[in-house]
Amino acid sequence: MVFLPQEVIVRKRDGEALAAADIAAFIAGFARGTVSEAQAAAFAMAVYFRDMSMDERVALTLAMRDSGNVLDWSGLDGPVADKHSTGGVGDNVSLMLAPLLAAIGIYVPMISGRGLGHTGGTLDKFDAIPGYETGPDEALFRRVVREAGCAIIGQTADLAPADKALYAIRDVTGTVDSIPLITASILSKKLAAGLDALVLDVKTGSGAFMTTPEKSRALAQSLVAVANGAGLPTAALITDMNQPLASAAGNGLEMRNAVDFLAGRHADPRLREVTLALGARIALMTGKAATPDAARRLLDAALDSGRALERFALMVAGLGGPADFTQHLDRYLAPAPIVRDVMAPGDGVVARIDTRAVGMAVVVLGGGRKTPSDAIDHRVGFDRLAGLGARVDGNTPIARLHAADEAAAAEAAARLRAAYMLGETAPEHELIAGRIGPG
């Protein structure tokens, strides 16, 4: 029987449940070019308004996975795992977590993305390292995973290509924030990476795409249910993004923050807790530890011994970066021309932070993109960011600004001050607001 993509669109438009075979045929046709971009856009809009059942979400995710290659790591001598974050400000967890897991015998082939809107992208952070190749061929990717235990790269052309094409359509048709489509987009790449386990960091709060606990939990539940339904053991943590996670926001500054973390020079407490919580969940799921306490001890030892830092250095060198990068950050991370403090907007306690606005201040500095073709300035951003509950006055810095020119510095400083709201007390936001899934 001839497959007609418009019939799939009509059935979903009218609220019907789609058969897995029809979803698979539609996505396969889109990947081959026999389903047009207009039809894919109509399908995305129908899903946006009519939603999908969990069975349909699993089918869509598997169809997008199967639009390209699926990696096989069966030759490795340990489990293969990964982590995904839904995005935030000062969220550089991947930079520490991948080598930390590698240091305890878990291989991490991490497929990451670039910044989106106000959020920083993991690949943009690695672009701050001279020579680091975020788009290696598969042979180099496999070699670095095998030798360093981890490799953080971008999505290759043959991993879930239907996702990349469909996302570009969603981005210009107002269908990005659909939970079924977000779920399939995230998980199709992770399933294609050939993992044994996955942990998800679903953000909630003023700097998250899902700003309310209800929306964040709905996304986390969808991701966990679909991933496990597709055969990938997956758990999720719902973590707070009502303030930047690290005390730095900006690509080179977050890279420096991460290396300092791994080297034991400085670790922001909230950042450390989220990193270790995610790592512990993976350690439990892969059988590297039998209890949460044992998992934390294992991870602490990998950090304290310097093994995680060694794995990070091996990854950087393996992917073309300097072999002595972690030892000579000042040599390789160029400073911004303008570095100065941003003072608090008044007297009181930092009671609320518009974290999205902090991220947009980094974009204004050139540390993010206004359009997809914009170049990133890896030097710019903020460090020494004050957190909720900090007591300040007009002479207290709330951050140190790193800027390329005076005009951008002035606008970003004004935006940052406006993002910090003062009061008598600060509300408490639970750092890990929920845990979903096995482990």
Among 85, 86, 94, 222, which one carries the catalytic annotation? 85
What is the per-residue burial (b if ≥16 Cβ within 10 Å, else e) of 96-130? bbbbbbbbbebbbbbbbbbbbebbbbbbbbbbbbe
* Cα–chain center distance at 114: 9
Among 82, 127, 196, 354, which one carries the catalytic annotation? 82
Annotated catalytic, 203? no
Annotated catalytic, 83? yes
Annotated catalytic, 170? yes
Residue from 429, 339, 349 nearest 386 by CA: 349
Write the CB contacts of 83 (distance below 8 Å, at least 6 apart in sequence).
93, 94, 97, 98, 108, 110, 198, 199, 200, 201, 278, 282
Instruction: Note the pLDDT of residue 39.
Output: 96
Q: How many helices (H) and strands (E) does the chain have?
A: 17, 12
CA–CA distances in Å: residue 178 to residues 46, 74, 356: 10, 34, 20
| Cβ neighbours, 10 Å, residue 301 | 13
φ, ψ of residue 67 to 5 degrees: the values are -75, -10
Among 190, 217, 281, 402, which one carries the catalytic annotation? 190
Could you give the residue ranges of the DSSP H alpha helices within 66-195? 93-103, 122-126, 138-148, 161-171, 179-192
Among 67, 122, 175, 275, which one carries the catalytic annotation? 122
Among 12, 65, 189, 379, which one carries the catalytic annotation? 189
Annotated catalytic, 185? yes
Among 12, 57, 164, 170, which one carries the catalytic annotation? 170
Among 67, 175, 185, 239, which one carries the catalytic annotation? 185
- CATH 3.40.1030.10 describes domain 81-328: yes
Quick check: 205 and 358 in contact, CB under 8 A?
Answer: no
Quick one: fold of 336-423?
A: Aldehyde Oxidoreductase; domain 3 (3.90.1170)
Annotated catalytic, 82? yes
Instruction: Note the pLDDT of residue 405.
Output: 96
Instruction: Note the pLDDT of residue 209.
Output: 79
Instruction: Note the pLDDT of residue 211.
Output: 84
**To which residue do tokens 């420096």 refer?**
256
The β-bridge relationship of strands 197-204 and 150-154 is unpaired
What 3-state class would DSSP assign to 210?
coil
Q: What is the block-wise mean pLDDT of the chain (439 residues), using blocks of 10 residues?
A: 92 97 96 95 97 96 94 94 92 96 97 71 92 93 97 87 89 85 93 95 90 91 94 96 96 97 96 97 96 96 97 98 97 96 96 95 88 83 97 95 97 97 92 86
Domain boundaries, the chain: 5-50, 81-328, 336-423
Residue from 120, 219, 283, 182 nearest 433 by CA: 219
Annotated catalytic, 215? no
Instruction: Note the pLDDT of residue 208.
Output: 87
d(CA 102, CA 299): 10
pTM metric for this prediction: 0.91
